[in-house]
Chains A and B, each alone.
Chain A
Amino acid sequence: MEEQVKKIISDDEEYVINMGPQHPSTHGVLRLVVSLKGETVKRVEPHVGYIHRGIEKMTENLTYPQIVHLTDRMDYLSAHINNEAFCLTVEKALEAEIPERVKYVRTILSELTRIQSHQLFWASFGMDLGGLTCFFYGLRDREKILDIFEETCGGRMIVSYNTPGGLMNDIHPNFQKGVKDFIKYFRKKLPEYDQLLTGNVIFEQRTKNVGMVTRDEAIAWGMTGPVGRASGFSCDIRKHNPYSAYDKVNFKEILYTEGDTYHRYKVRMDEMWESMNIIEQLIDNIPEGPYSAKMKPVIKLPEGEYYQSVETARGELGVFIVSDGNKNPYRVKFRSPNFVHLAPLDLMSRGYKIADLVAISGSLDFVIPDIDR
């Protein structure tokens, strides 16, 4: 421990603070060793691995339908999108024909997941900065989406609704009505979020010009998702490489150029509006048909390497499968967005204060199990 401490300090006046694995504002078990001079952050060193469960190693002994339930637990706030990523990779390798109904339902559920994840982001970001009521308002509205999930998929956060080839069951008869009621309700509540937090002068002072990232830095460090888009890096996979039903809908890609904490927050707020637009375009037009393609009972991918990336609520999730023809994959690798975003935390927070470190790591919106897998 002494050598670790000596490595991080470069000056006699600096001291080390440990924002340990158990901390109210690091959203999970992440240890940040911060070296400070007075109140200014000089260097941040993250220590990860507290929730490493060996998901990628476990996949080497499981068949393809069995791996889907493990992807739920990586970035648990985008559970549905993770399932979809894996299933899309398998279906791409098998070159299977997926029914239209499946594509529409998957897209609607993905957008609902995105809204739900951004609601939790708003709730915990407000709480980190000190406005404790934001937490309750965000979660109160998120419950409505979780009720929709529970009715159709059986689980609130751990859904496991996708399977290679389609969906596990058909959608519940109340699904369309539930989604439409939710959208009507949430369109009235979202301006209240802006009234409470976004326009607040204290909030603006805390987040504007804090943690600046230029566009070149964003591209160089591989920041995708809302973090990259706030700096001007146009990286929305739903636009550049459309999958599922995204080529059939009209939506805007939210781009800002300032790259500070405030605009990373604004990107997510605007994405919620866009997601509601996407859902409204799709919800009334779900085509009839089977809810799953016909798959062999034992799925074996042909030999080779396959990659598919999707846009989760946090960035680009990539699934890379190496198969040697058996029913178990040879290697599965998940390119997780949170792991990539953890590295520039040091770069972004040098020179700012401790309070800013909390704001910056809140705006990057980490989900720690995705870092460690």
Chain B
Amino acid sequence: MEFSIYDFSSFTAWIDQSLRAAMAPGWAIAIELVIIGVVILAFYALVGLFLIYAERKVCAFMQNRLGPNRLGPYGIFQTVADMFKLLFCEIIPIKNSDKVLFNLAPYIVIIASFLTLGALPFAKGLQAVDLNIGIFYIIAISSMSVVGVLLAGWSSNNKYSLIGAMRSGAQIVSYELSVGLSVITIVVLAGTMQISEIVEAQRWGWFVFSGHIPAFIAFIIFLIASTAEINRGPFDLAEAESELTAGFHTEYSGIKFAFFFLAEFINMFIVSGVAVTLFLGGWMPLHIYGWNGFNAVMDFIPPIFWFFGKTAFVIFIIMWFKWTFPRLRIDQLLKLEWNYLLPINLVNLLLMAFIVLMGWHW
């Protein structure tokens, strides 16, 4: 059995065949589902830990300081220590809160991001679920997290949380429009909603280059709108630390707060993953049509490193936004969406449809 790091379907085919040989097909599928679940859970935890450390280091370097540097070489065990502390924290029960909703809210947020991870293509053959409406599924599932935010704010029985949750709800619902429209622009260019086909179509040029100006504008709008979707960066007034303490998750402590915290960082990873898949070629190396030597060198690096490298680049840009700009007020935020991003998006979509019809994209 030839295992190749360039094509993970060799691994997955081997696991599938050995399971089917050993037991009935129903049981094999069940065990495969469990394996996928465990792998995604582990991935979730590891990527979350790494991203929190990366955020603190990036933020520190931008601010002329060192960041975590005492625990472990270059401070790499800092997040592990923080997670330990959060796990041992006392969960303070609120007196008049709605207990069912209060306990349910963090789980909804986690489940929404968990489900999305299953549809992202990490490398050739390393994609858990390849639906033929792949990208539509991702957009639909990731809008479930707004329910979690609203429940958290309402059930905390606290004025500050309620204000924060209301603001956040309005913000997320508005910006989903922009996200959806920029995704549709790429679907028009690619001609399909299935994610593996979208990645395959970028073999001879990433969409952000081959789609000319509309794809580039769509990329910028997607970045801005998804930063607003995940409550980050200049759009983080739902948890504005310097105004209302901590917004909708003020009353959460211990493991529940860890869930919200983790979910925010994993959402950042997911949004970057989607941006990379749609615009920057997914796991496709950088190929230029006709330069065969160059293409051979680019092919040497395994696709999984391409994917994580590009995602890291987009995550860096999102972090760069957060640590440079002041915060927008809620009415300015909504004005930005409805007055600027939405009209530009619609015109862009029209432009992209025109270009595809004319055949000007290569």
- Contact at B329–A131, with CB atoms within 8 Å? no
- Contact at A206–B326, with CB atoms within 8 Å? yes
Q: Given B65, B323, B326, which contacts A202 in the complex, CB threshold below 8 Å?
A: B326
- Considering the complex, which residues of chain B in the window 312-351 have a beta carbon less than 8 Å from any beta carbon of chain A? 323-332
- Contact at A205–B332, with CB atoms within 8 Å? yes
- Considering the complex, which residues of chain A in the window 220-236 have a beta carbon less than 8 Å from any beta carbon of chain B? none
- Contact at A200–B329, with CB atoms within 8 Å? no
A137 to B323, CA, bound (A): 12
- Contacting residues, chain A, for B62 (C-beta < 8 A): 133
**A17 located at the interface, meaning its Cβ lies under 8 Å from any Cβ of chain B in the complex:** yes
A136 to B244, CA, bound (A): 22
Q: Given B59, B64, B241, which contacts A24 in the complex, CB threshold below 8 Å?
A: B241
**B90 located at the interface, meaning its Cβ lies under 8 Å from any Cβ of chain A in the complex:** no
- Contact at B324–A17, with CB atoms within 8 Å? no
- Contact at A136–B65, with CB atoms within 8 Å? yes
Number of interface residues of A (CB under 8 A): 29
Tell which of B92-100, B103-111, B232-240, B298-306 binds the partner: B232-240
- Considering the complex, which residues of chain B in the window 215-251 have a beta carbon less than 8 Å from any beta carbon of chain A? 234, 236-237, 240-245
A17 nearest CB neighbor, chain B only:
B159
Q: Given B59, B65, B159, B326, which contacts A131 in the complex, CB threshold below 8 Å?
A: B326
| Cβ contacts B21-59/A at 8 Å (1 or 0 each) | 000000000000000000000000000000000000001
Which of B63, B64, B330, B331 has the most chain A CB atoms closer than 10 A to its own CB? B63
B160 nearest CB neighbor, chain A only:
A17
| Smallest beta-carbon distance B40→chain A, Å | 33
Which of A140, A203, A205 has the most chain B CB atoms closer than 10 A to its own CB? A205
| Smallest beta-carbon distance A122→chain B, Å | 12
| Smallest beta-carbon distance B247→chain A, Å | 12
- Contact at A354–B325, with CB atoms within 8 Å? no
A133 to B64, CA, bound (A): 9
- Contact at A355–B323, with CB atoms within 8 Å? no
Instruction: Say which size band chain B's interface belongs to.
Output: 20 to 34
- Contact at B243–A356, with CB atoms within 8 Å? no
B331 nearest CB neighbor, chain A only:
A353
- Contact at A130–B327, with CB atoms within 8 Å? yes
**A370 located at the interface, meaning its Cβ lies under 8 Å from any Cβ of chain B in the complex:** no
- Contact at B243–A358, with CB atoms within 8 Å? yes
- Contacting residues, chain B, for A15 (C-beta < 8 A): 159
| Smallest beta-carbon distance A220→chain B, Å | 29
B322 nearest CB neighbor, chain A only:
A132
- Contact at A130–B240, with CB atoms within 8 Å? yes
Q: Given A15-B159, A355-B243, A358-B242 in contact, is the A140-B325 Cβ separation under 8 Å? A: no
- Contact at B234–A133, with CB atoms within 8 Å? no
Tell me the interface secondary structure of chain B in the complex: helix
| Smallest beta-carbon distance B246→chain A, Å | 10
**A25 located at the interface, meaning its Cβ lies under 8 Å from any Cβ of chain B in the complex:** yes
| Cβ contacts A189-220/B at 8 Å (1 or 0 each) | 00000001100101101100000000000000
- Contact at B332–A128, with CB atoms within 8 Å? no
Which of A135, A353, A355 has the most chain B CB atoms closer than 10 A to its own CB? A355
| Smallest beta-carbon distance B111→chain A, Å | 30
**A129 located at the interface, meaning its Cβ lies under 8 Å from any Cβ of chain B in the complex:** yes
B62 nearest CB neighbor, chain A only:
A133
- Contacting residues, chain A, for B244 (C-beta < 8 A): 354
- Contacting residues, chain A, for B324 (C-beta < 8 A): 131, 133, 196
| Cβ contacts A120-155/B at 8 Å (1 or 0 each) | 000000111111110111001000000000000000
- Contacting residues, chain B, for A355 (C-beta < 8 A): 237, 240, 243, 327, 329-330
A126 to B242, CA, bound (A): 11
Q: Given A126, A127, A140, A203, which contacts B64 in the complex, CB threshold below 8 Å?
A: A140
Q: Given A136-B65, A137-B63, A353-B331 in contact, is the A25-B242 Cβ separation under 8 Å? A: yes
B65 nearest CB neighbor, chain A only:
A136
Q: Given A24-B241, A202-B234 in contact, is the A130-B325 Cβ separation under 8 Å? A: yes
A17 to B244, CA, bound (A): 10
Q: Given B59, B65, B159, B326, which contacts A130 in the complex, CB threshold below 8 Å?
A: B326
| Smallest beta-carbon distance B57→chain A, Å | 14
- Contact at B236–A130, with CB atoms within 8 Å? yes
**A39 located at the interface, meaning its Cβ lies under 8 Å from any Cβ of chain B in the complex:** yes
A200 to B327, CA, bound (A): 11
A196 to B63, CA, bound (A): 13
- Contact at A25–B326, with CB atoms within 8 Å? no
- Contacting residues, chain B, for A205 (C-beta < 8 A): 328-329, 332
- Contact at B326–A197, with CB atoms within 8 Å? yes
- Contact at B242–A24, with CB atoms within 8 Å? yes
- Contacting residues, chain B, for A132 (C-beta < 8 A): 59, 63, 323
B159 nearest CB neighbor, chain A only:
A17
- Contact at B65–A203, with CB atoms within 8 Å? no
- Contact at A353–B329, with CB atoms within 8 Å? yes
- Contact at A129–B327, with CB atoms within 8 Å? yes
- Contact at B64–A130, with CB atoms within 8 Å? no
Which of B59, B237, B242, B323 has the most chain A CB atoms closer than 10 A to its own CB? B242
- Contacting residues, chain B, for A203 (C-beta < 8 A): 326
Other CB < 8 Å A-B pairs besides A25-B243, A131-B325, A355-B243, 18 of them?
A17-B159, A24-B241, A129-B242, A130-B236, A130-B325, A130-B326, A131-B327, A133-B62, A136-B64, A136-B65, A137-B64, A200-B325, A202-B327, A203-B326, A205-B329, A206-B329, A354-B243, A355-B330
17 A–B contacts, CB within 8 A, in A order: A39-B163, A127-B242, A129-B326, A132-B323, A133-B63, A133-B323, A135-B63, A136-B63, A137-B63, A196-B324, A202-B327, A206-B326, A206-B328, A206-B329, A353-B331, A355-B237, A356-B329
The 4 nearest A-B residue pairs measured at CB: A130-B327, A136-B63, A129-B326, A131-B326
Q: Which residues of A are at the interface with B, using a C-beta cutoff of 8 A?
A: 15, 17, 24-25, 39, 126-133, 135-137, 140, 196-197, 200, 202-203, 205-206, 353-356, 358
